[in-house]
């Protein structure tokens, strides 16, 4: 029987639980931003991923992401149904922890990634089409990128880095969201007023709290890099939230709670790929620039009349992409020997690799999602009927978040 490090194993179990909590946090965040007659549907879309994704992960997901030869695009089925993996098996990349713990930790990433996309097509996609999308998108988009970067695949062999999901999670999901918006079209009545600011605040708090597991846990150990990632995560979120608030205050003459919360999430998404590789000053710069870039992306989206209802592309897509590029600028090998030196420290080659990887991920995520939705539409209608759009909760689920007349 293997003797595992109890400190690292215990920390990773806590980190896994924190990342799991982010999915309900996302559900509340999106639910507060949605209309009161569409709350159940958007919350359900997040929660159902906890179930469907777990089934997929056990059957084929973990194997396709983390087995197979070095340098490939996707893994094989050697560990399908967790074949050959027992509670005493050490994780190959860190024998201090059981592979079971790593399996559970990575599962939580797979759960939240497709759920991020749902905010873009609020009250426009049928539940049946979403379930098919949930399965297909993970197999065709998430699994390949998880393998290529975190499973010793092609991009990892090129030297591309992504500490906790700037490419694997946020860039792919964000540009998939943009493809979804362009495919399903605009809402018949596009309202932008959140129905519950307290829900948004609760959701942001849960996301912020869970992000410590998301980023610090990605070190898969307890050491100085874990602490660096933890502090970088919080600091970038705080600076980003304040920056977004200031921009709102200047433009709209009033500080906005939703603006601060959105900015914090933008900072969290943007620092994610860099959190364990860059110095604290780099995280501060990333946080400030995250709000400026993501705010600008949201303004550009509005100008183009893209109906990304909850700004998934502007916050997560652009944040994840920009953060991955900033990793190419501020990465410091002296802080994390497993990393690289970015442009600021003389690593121009690494910077261009990061830029190329971001481009590949964004284009791939967009194109495959658009084609996927077109194929799903041949099986079942993707878009809800106009009659159902304004009251999807009752029409699709026979449930309502509130009694009639409340809120």
Range of the domain at 373: 6-394
Q: Where does residue 242 rank: exposed (0-12), middle (13-18), buried (19+ CB within 10 A)?
A: middle
Cβ within 8 Å of residue 305, ≥6 positions away:
186
Determine the length of the chain.
407
Domain count for the chain, please give it.
1
pLDDT at position 3: 85
244 falls within a domain = yes
What does pTM read for this prediction? 0.96
63 falls within a domain = yes
Structure tokens of 363?
A: 């284009």
pLDDT at position 300: 98
In tens digits, the chain (407 residues) has pLDDT values of 678 999 999 999 999 999 999 999 999 999 999 988 889 999 999 999 999 999 999 999 999 999 987 899 999 999 999 999 999 999 999 999 999 999 999 999 999 999 999 999 988 999 999 999 999 999 999 999 999 999 999 999 999 999 999 999 999 999 999 999 999 999 887 777 899 999 999 999 999 999 999 999 999 999 999 999 999 999 999 999 999 999 999 999 999 999 999 999 999 999 999 999 999 999 999 999 999 999 999 999 999 999 999 999 999 999 999 999 999 999 999 999 999 999 999 999 999 999 999 999 999 999 999 999 999 999 999 999 888 887 888 888 999 999 865 54
The answer to whether 267 and 291 are in contact (CB under 8 A) is yes
pLDDT at position 388: 83
Alpha-carbon span 178 to 312, nearest angstrom: 8
Task: Find the CATH number of the domain harbouring 122.
Answer: 1.10.3430.10
Question: The dihedral of CA 188, 44, 391, 128: what is its sign?
Answer: positive
405 falls within a domain = no
Work out the angle between the directed axes of helices 257-271 and 6-33 (0-180°, nearest 10). Answer: 140
132 falls within a domain = yes
pLDDT at position 403: 80
H/E element holding 225?
helix 224-252
407 falls within a domain = no
CB atoms within 10 A of CB 394: 13
* C-alpha pair distances (Å), 217 with each of 222, 340, 359: 8, 20, 27
CA angle 269, 270, 276 (to 5 degrees): 95
238 falls within a domain = yes
pLDDT at position 248: 97
400 falls within a domain = no
Helix, strand, coil percentages, rounded to 5, for the chain = 70, 0, 30
1 falls within a domain = no
């Amino acid at each position: 029987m293997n003797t595992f490090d109890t400190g690292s194993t215990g920390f990773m179990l806590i980190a896994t639980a924190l990342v799991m909590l982010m999915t309900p946090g996302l559900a509340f965040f999106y639910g507060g931003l949605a209309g009161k007659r569409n709350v159940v549907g958007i919350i359900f879309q997040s929660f159902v991923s906890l179930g469907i994704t777990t089934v997929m992960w056990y059957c084929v997901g973990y194997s396709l992401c983390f087995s197979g030869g070095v340098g490939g695009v996707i893994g094989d089925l050697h560990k399908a149904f967790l074949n050959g993996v027992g509670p005493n098996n050490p994780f190959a990349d860190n024998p201090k922890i059981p592979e079971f713990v790593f399996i559970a930790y990575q599962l939580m990433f797979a759960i939240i990634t497709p759920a991020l996309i749902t905010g873009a097509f609020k009250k426009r996609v049928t539940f049946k089409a979403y379930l098919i999308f949930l399965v297909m998108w993970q197999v065709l988009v998430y699994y390949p990128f998880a393998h290529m970067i975190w499973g010793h695949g092609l991009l990892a062999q090129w030297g591309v880095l992504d500490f906790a999901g700037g490419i694997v999670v946020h860039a792919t999901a964000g540009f998939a969201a943009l493809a979804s918006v362009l495919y399903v079209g605009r809402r018949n009545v596009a309202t932008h007023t959140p129905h519950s600011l307290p829900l948004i605040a609760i959701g942001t708090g849960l996301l912020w709290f869970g992000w410590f597991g998301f980023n610090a846990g990605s070190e898969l150990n307890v050491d100085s890099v874990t602490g660096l990632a933890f502090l970088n995560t919080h600091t970038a979120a705080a600076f980003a939230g304040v920056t977004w608030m200031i921009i709102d205050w200047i433009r709209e003459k009033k500080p906005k709670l939703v603006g601060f919360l959105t900015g914090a999430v933008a900072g969290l998404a943007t620092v994610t790929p860099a959190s364990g590789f860059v110095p604290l000053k780099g995280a501060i710069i990333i946080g400030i620039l995250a709000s400026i870039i993501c705010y600008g992306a949201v303004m550009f989206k509005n100008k183009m009349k893209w109906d990304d209802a909850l700004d998934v592309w502007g916050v997560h897509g652009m944040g994840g992409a920009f953060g991955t590029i900033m990793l190419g600028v501020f990465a410091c090998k002296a802080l994390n020997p497993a990393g690289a030196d970015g442009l600021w420290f003389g690593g121009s080659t690494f910077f261009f690799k990061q830029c190329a990887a971001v481009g590949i991920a964004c284009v791939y995520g967009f194109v495959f999602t658009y084609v996927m939705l077109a194929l799903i539409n041949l099986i079942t209608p993707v878009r809800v009927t106009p009659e159902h759009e304004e009251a999807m909760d009752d029409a699709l689920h026979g449930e309502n978040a509130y009694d009639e007349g409340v809120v």
